[in-house]
Every structure is written in C-alpha cells, then in structure tokens.
Structure 1
C-alpha cells in the first residue's frame, strides 16, 4: 500500500519553536497510537517504522528512516537519535507521548495517518510484528541474536564505496548486505562534516555489526592538494599526480591493502559517490592490474 498524497510537501505554519521533521511527526503519531493500545516499545516502533518504509513507501515522499541488520532485525540509528531529540523537545517522557507530542503527531497528512493506523492494526503484539519481519525480510536478520546461524564463508576481494548522500543506516546496510568484513578508509584525514563518518564514530558503528575498520592514511590525498577541483580536467590532473607520485611513494601501504584483500572482503572508503571523481578509483585500477576484481557499491 503506497501513499500518494500531496500534503507531505505543505509548508509548516510559522512558529517560534524549531519545527519537527516530518519523519519525527510520523514517529509521534505511531507512538501515540501504540500508547493508546498499551503496546508501545522501542522494538515495536522500530519494526513498524521499517514496514512503513518498505510496504507503505513513506520514504518516497519524505526523508525517512533507513535500516540495517542488527541484533533483533532491522535497526535504525536515526530512529534512536530522534527519540532523544523528541525527549529534549518535550514530546516524549520515557516511552510515553506527552500532550505536546500527541498534538505534534496529529500534524501529518490524512494519508499518512491512514498508513500509520493500518500498520498498527495489522499486529496485535510486538512478537507478531517481529515474526512477520523475520519471515518476509530475511536479509535483515543476518546479524540477529534471535536466530541460530553459523557464519557463512564469504569470498575475499575488493569493493569501493563513497558515503556522499548516505546516512549511517543506509551505509551500514550496504556493507552488511554485501558481506563486507573490513572497511579500508583511504581518506588522508578520517574526518567528515557528517560526524557519523568521522573515524571514532565509524569504528563504534562498525564494531557493533562485526566489521573491522582500518585507516590507510598514506593512500589518501592531503587536503591542500584537493583545492580548486572545479572541472573534470582538474580531477584528471590530480589523479595523474597521485598515480605518478603519491601512490608509488606508499607502495608498502598498498601491499598491505593487497594482502588484506586476499583474506577479507574489503570496501575502500572515501567521500565521493562517483569513484570516477575519487582517488579510490585509481587505487581500484591498481588493484585490478594486480589481478583483483573490484566492484563498486
């Protein structure tokens, strides 16, 4: 059941309060309805938000939650972040929705309300929702503590991935679904304005899903060399210099990366979405020359 209304794009009324995001209002609406029925829990909320994305297509009409496999099926870091924000805003008290939260949860389009009511009516208990999700979406159960599953052997090799345009939940889901075991960060400085992709936070997130992080600083390009990249020609000149000078000067690090890829399933990380505009594309080409196949995620 997909929602095709227009109200998602209506401008919110002016207010001195910081307006809530549309996904946060959906969360409050869902929590309010579950609270009325005495069934609210974080796990139940998480699973129903997942179904609102997968089966009601709410993500096609607003920036919504992304999910990745974790201890109890699909999981969203952004969902837990929003719970904290909504508590700070006075909309939640523990897992109870405050009167303000109830009011804010009503500020959604009628079509969204219908979707929320429908998904709640489908499941009498949290256990029913979990059982349904596990049955229909087994790809999200590969890390589950509720299932007995021996770790399947994965073929070693290389992939590349950029985090541009991704949130941490969708990023982790891509890694897990492609059975990545090591994330090789080839940025010179493992820092990002998107804090989730700064080294310390990445290590934290990756360790929770059993993926190892390795920083190959010296396979990166120093920031001063990345200035004024305003044309395809500028990128071409930079990557030519990289392949002629920086990479040959750091072959010990490249050889270490090669050895890692003989035993592990490795994703090379940098920022750019398109590897054509990233030096990881040069590294990938060098690996292909050494006999490896390299995929792009």
Structure 2
C-alpha cells in the first residue's frame, strides 16, 4: 500500500507485493529516493532484502538508502498490531526513539530531499497506521509545518 503525504513524501509497505510490482508502484508515484526504515533490512520475500532491493531500485533509476536508526525495535512491534491503546503506546515509544541525534539527522535530511523530489519511506506493513513509518512521516510533517495526519 502507498499512502501519499505532504512534501513529496510517500509511505509505502511491500506486504503482498513481489519486488517487480513494488518497484512498479514506486515508479508510478514518481519516487526517486526510497528510504528503508526497517531496523534490519531483510525479508523472506525474494528481492526485498537490502542488497537485492537496492540493485532493483538502482536499475529502475531510484536511489536507495537504509536508515536503521529509524527502524522500530523488535520489542515495540507488537503494539502496532494491537488495540488502539496499544498502538498509541507503541507510537509514543517509537517517537521517543526519534529524539536521538542520528534519527534527527535522518529526519532533517529526508525533509530536505522531499522538498525537491518524491521520497518514499518504506517498511513491510501495508497498513500505514499499523506501522512505525506513520510516526516518522508525522514527525517530518511536524518539523516542516506540513499538514497533520
């Protein structure tokens, strides 16, 4: 699923897609930079782990960057799949992680890139509201004065 946001930002999850369909979807939205915000960029799905995905994206003219500091730690993942109160607790815990200097640098850089081209933040989950990228996108919009989610 692809969810469009402000500032040339997209949220995208590859759940249910193979690498060919995933890259086609990115191309259809004019994405020129994909930022992988999985903590560990591996997948059981062929072609969607870091090295192979990066190769497929480069062949399609899309730049690939991995930002592990924007990944959601394993201990916080179950909350995103839980009830609304659990999801809010997981979002709050993840938001606290975005206060690190490294995360701050990545979020600023992504916002700068999105001002001049289309950037996609990627994870596995198709439902953005059940994914940590929802929080990362919301934080970038907050910092740049973009519309709220």
Deviations 1:232-272 (A, max 9, x none): 233221111111x1011221221121122122210110111
Distance in 1, Cα, partners of 2:11 & 2:81: 23
Counting only pairs closer than 5 Å after superposition, residues 236-275 of structure 1 correspond to structure 2 as 236-243=88-95, 245-249=96-100, 250-275=103-128
Deviations 1:38-57 (A, max 9, x none): xxxxxxxxxxxxxxxxxxxx
**Per-residue deviation at 1:206?**
0.5
CA distance in 1, matches of 2:79, 2:136: 22
For the residues of structure 2 that align with 1:294 and 1:190, how far apart are their CA atoms? 28
Structure 1 runs not aligned, ≥5 long: 1-155
Larger radius of gyration: 1
Q: Assess, with a 3 A threshold, how the Cα gap between structure 1 residues 228 and 275 changes in structure 2: closer, same or farther.
A: closer
C-alpha change, 1:294 and 1:204, in structure 2 (3 Å) is farther
Question: When the two structures are aligned, how many residues end up with a matched partner?
Answer: 139
Q: 1:180–1:266: 8 Å Cα contact kept in structure 2? A: yes
Q: 1:229 to 1:182 in 2, by over 3 A?
A: closer
The offset of 1:218, in angstroms, is: 0.4
Find 2:51's aligned residue among 200, 205, 208.
Answer: 200
Q: Is the 8 A contact 2:80 2:131 kept in 1?
A: no
Q: Does 1:291 align with 2:145?
A: yes
Which fold has the larger relative contact order, with Cα–Cα distance below 8 Å and residues 6 or more apart in sequence?
A: 2
Match of 2:69 in 1: 218
Q: TM-score, normalised by structure 1?
A: 0.44
In 1, Cα distance between equivalents of 2:14 and 2:148: 17
1:45-76 per-position Cα deviation (integer Å, ceiling 9, x unaligned): xxxxxxxxxxxxxxxxxxxxxxxxxxxxxxxx
Q: Quote the offset at 1:288 in angstroms.
A: 2.1
Considering only aligned residues, what root-mean-square deviation do their CA atoms show, in Å?
A: 2.1
